Amino acid sequence: MIGLGEFARRLAALDLDAVQREALAHARERLADAVRARLATPPGGPHTAPWMRNGALYDSIAGESDARRVVVGSTSAVARYQELGTRFDPPRPFLAPAAAALAPEIAADIAARLAQAIAELP
């Protein structure tokens, strides 16, 4: 068994930024996939999600991450109208529900990856 001082020295040598960056990159991909899955409703389906007409909104989903945050969104102007609605069309959110549904799993995965990195300290 090692002492607290030795453990602190080993922990200080751990590159937490790299572990977090990897964990958040994985979270980014999972979230982007979940958002895309919510955009796969065929025309004529329920009006609670955007219908996939030509795949442009689906293809516009992208994300970025670093060691501190994940951002997943769309480069399409249509995304805002679908997510929030307009004067004429009700909201058909797909970004926020995907994030809310995955948040507990993503948090648990990040915690597990950090715990694993600490457990593997020499």
* Token reading at 43: 């025309």
Residue written as token pair 């507990």: 104
Amino acid letter, residue 62: A
Q: Where are the domains of the chain?
A: 15-119
Per-residue confidence band for 32, with pLDDT thresholds at 50, 70 and 90: very high
How confident is the model over 104-119, as pLDDT tens digits?
Answer: 999 999 999 999 999 8
Burial code of 36-54, b = ≥16 C-beta within 10 A, e = fewer? bebbebeeeeeeebbbbee
Total-model pTM: 0.85
